[in-house]
Amino acid sequence: MCSHSEIKISLSNGKELKFSHPAGQTDGSVDYPQLQNSVKHIQEESNKALTDAINAEKTANLESNNLNTNKDDVMDDDDEDDEDDEDDDDHNSVEPAEKKLKT
C-alpha cells in the first residue's frame, strides 16, 4: 500500500481543491527523497491553482469595476448637462452676465 501527501484548500467561493501525490511505501520506513518530491509536486500544483483562482478573481473585479465606471461616467455626463440647462433657463440668477449668455 502506498501513502500519499495530501492538501485541501477551501476557497472563498466555497469551492474546495484537493491535491495528493504518492509519498512512498507504508512499511514503516521513510523514503525522504520520495517524500520531498511528493511535497514539491503538491506545492507546485496548489500554487498554480491558487494563482489561477486569484487571477480569475482579479479579472472579474476589473471587469465589474470597468462596467460600473462606464455607467457612472454616462450618468455624470447627463447630470452635468442637466445642471447647465437649468442654469441657462434661470434668467433671475445671481450669476455673472457672461455665464447667462447662451452661446
pLDDT tens across 51-79, in order?
A: 999 999 899 888 888 877 766 555 555 55
pLDDT tens across 15-60, in order?
A: 898 988 888 776 767 788 888 898 999 999 999 999 999 999 899 8
What single DSSP character describes residue 95?
Answer: S
What's the pLDDT at 99? 60
What's the pLDDT at 33? 87
Name every residue whose Cβ is closer than 8 Å to that of residue 91 and which is 6 or more positions away in sequence.
100
Cell, residue 95: 450669476
Classified as helix, coil or strand, 22 is strand
d(CA 103, CA 98): 10
Is residue 30 within 8 A of residue 54, CB to CB? The reply is no
Residue with cell 496548489: 46
